[in-house]
Amino acid sequence: MPTTKLTQAAVDNLKPPASGRVEWWDNQLPGFGLRVSQTGRKTWMAMYRVNGKLVRETIGTIARFPKVDKARDLARASMQSAQAGRHPVQARRQQREAETKQVEAEAARERDTVAAVIDRYLERCRTGRGRKKAMRADYYVETKRTLDRDVKSALGDRPVGDITRKDVRELLDAIVDRGSPSHANHTLAYLRACLNWAVNQDIIEKNPAEGLETPAPMISRDRVLEDAEIRLFWLACEEIGEPFGPLFKLLLLTAQRRDELAEATWSEFGDLDKALWTLPGERVKNGKAHLVHLAPAAVEILLKLPRIGKRGYLFTTTGETPVSGFGRARERLAAVMLDLRRGELRAARVSADEIENAAIAPFTLHDLRRSAATGMAALGIAHHVLDKVLNHVGGKISGVAAIYNRFEYLDERKSALDKWARHVESLVRPAPSNVDDIEVARRRRSAR
Distance CA 157, CA 113 (A): 6
Q: Which of 384, 379, 394, 407 is nearest to 295 (CA)?
A: 379
Q: pLDDT of the chain along its 448 residues, tens only?
A: 688 899 999 999 999 999 999 999 999 899 999 999 999 999 999 999 998 899 999 999 999 999 999 999 999 999 999 988 889 888 888 888 877 777 766 666 668 899 999 999 999 998 888 777 788 776 788 899 999 999 999 999 999 999 999 999 999 999 998 888 888 999 999 999 999 999 999 999 999 999 999 988 765 567 899 999 999 999 999 999 999 999 999 999 999 999 999 999 999 998 788 999 999 988 887 778 899 999 999 999 999 999 998 999 999 999 999 998 898 899 999 999 999 999 999 999 989 988 898 888 889 899 999 999 999 999 999 999 999 999 987 544 444 334 334 457 899 999 999 999 999 999 998 654 444 444 544 455 455 4
140, amino acid identity: Y
Question: DSSP string covering 198-259, please?
Answer: HHHTTS-SS-TTTTPPPSSPPPPS-----HHHHHHHHHHHHHH-TTHHHHHHHHHHH---HH
29 contact partners, CB below 8 Å, separation of at least 6: 72, 75, 76
Structural domains of the chain, ranges and CATH numbers in brackets = 3-101 (3.30.160.390), 112-200 (1.10.150.130), 227-447 (1.10.443.10)
Distance CA 370, CA 374 (A): 6
The overall pTM is greater than 0.85:
no
Cβ count near 355 (within 10 Å): 16
